Chains A and B, each alone.
Chain A
Amino acid sequence: TVGAVALDVHGQLAAATSTGGLTNKKFGRIGDTPLIGCGTYADDLVAVSCTGWGEFFIRTVAAHQVAMRHRLGETLQSACHSVIDDIEVLGGDGGLIAVNVRGEISMPFNTPGMYRAAGGSHIESFVKIF
């Protein structure tokens, strides 16, 4: 799965996610990626893209949960990490990336690694794996 979240110079946000799904999937199985609010979501406050064991991101409506918790006053970091914690409690694993209208980013994951990168007008670019 790959994804991107962006804040542009007009103060607008967007999210995009794309995946080949799970290896050896059957029965037309679809994960969280194309489900708005689960694997992909953006509004005027935050943009979110998720990756991992999709069934858990669907059951927790993960991307929208980040947006709701942030809108209700949690910091972006707290909102993102608590959603990943909820997924872990259910037995799922994966990660997400989020950017908010102030240009803050959060990239939590509960797997050993997540390929990720970020940068911006006020952030030194970086690429990380573990």
Chain B
Amino acid sequence: MRYTLALHGGAGTLLPEVITPAERKEFTQALDDALKTGLELLKKGSSAVETVVHTVAKLEDCPLFNAGRGSVFSHDGRHEMDAAVMNGADRKAGAVASVSGVKNPVILARTIMEHCPHVFLSGAGAEEFARLHEIDFESEKWFYTRHRYHQWQVAKADNALLLDHTPDDVKYG
């Protein structure tokens, strides 16, 4: 039987002339590492759910991408993260929104899918469910990246919103 894996690290107004060769190499390497790991899992017969959760968790741990560790700052300087996972075989799904401190929101989403009668949990309640299921939490320091902090300062100064990969001069009102 065939197996296939596709992944993304976010879309944005990035432009070839904006991204430096070193950044391009860094991003390419991070995506390639996640792809290789995921394909290995599929080759060994892992399930599609196991593979997508593992792949996304790996990207969450990479500070380059706007998820998990590399998450952007909200208006009040926090990291409020969302995630979801869905199993095509039985249409089971788990989703979480507005959680802070959770190291891998996608693992929390899968835990909700597998151990909660609800599909979608949010905020403090979702964080309480995470602690009950011994999901890993990290300090604010883990989620701090200079690049995202700078983006936040720029966006706040102009009362704007920024997508994941947006040069500072491209903002959404």
Instruction: Give A contacts to B, CB under 8 Å.
Output: 1-26, 28, 30-31, 33-36, 39-47, 49, 51-53, 93-99, 102-105, 107, 109, 111-123, 125, 127, 129-130
Q: Which of A10, A33, A47 has the most CB of B within 10 A?
A: A33
**Contact assessment for B72 and A21 in the assembled complex, using a CB-CB cutoff below 8 Å:** yes
Contacts of B15 in A (CB 8 A): 112-113
Q: Tell me the complex Cα distance, A40–B83, Å.
A: 9
**Contact assessment for A12 and B11 in the assembled complex, using a CB-CB cutoff below 8 Å:** no
Residue of B nearest to A45 (CB): B88
**Contact assessment for A36 and B148 in the assembled complex, using a CB-CB cutoff below 8 Å:** no
Tally chain B residues at the interface, Cβ within 8 Å. 91
Interface contacts beyond A14-B89, A18-B104: sample of 10 additional A-B pairs, CB < 8 Å, sorted by A: A12-B88, A14-B52, A16-B109, A17-B84, A18-B67, A23-B162, A36-B120, A43-B88, A47-B48, A103-B3
Q: Tell me the complex Cα distance, A7–B81, Å.
A: 26
**Contact assessment for A15 and B60 in the assembled complex, using a CB-CB cutoff below 8 Å:** no
Residue of B nearest to A36 (CB): B93
**Contact assessment for A121 and B66 in the assembled complex, using a CB-CB cutoff below 8 Å:** no
Q: Tell me the complex Cα distance, A3–B85, Å.
A: 10
Q: Is the interface of A mostly helix, strand, loop or mixed?
A: strand
Q: Tell me the complex Cα distance, A1–B165, Å.
A: 9
Instruction: Give B contacts to A, CB under 8 Å.
Output: 1-16, 19, 24, 27-28, 31-32, 34-36, 38-39, 42-43, 45-49, 51-53, 55-56, 59-60, 65-68, 70-76, 79-89, 91, 93, 95-98, 104-106, 109-110, 119-120, 122-123, 148, 151-152, 155-156, 159-165, 172
The residue that B84 contacts in the complex, of A39, A102, A111, with Cβ under 8 A, is A39
**Contact assessment for A8 and B11 in the assembled complex, using a CB-CB cutoff below 8 Å:** no
Q: Tell me the complex Cα distance, A52–B165, Å.
A: 10
Residue of A nearest to B151 (CB): A23
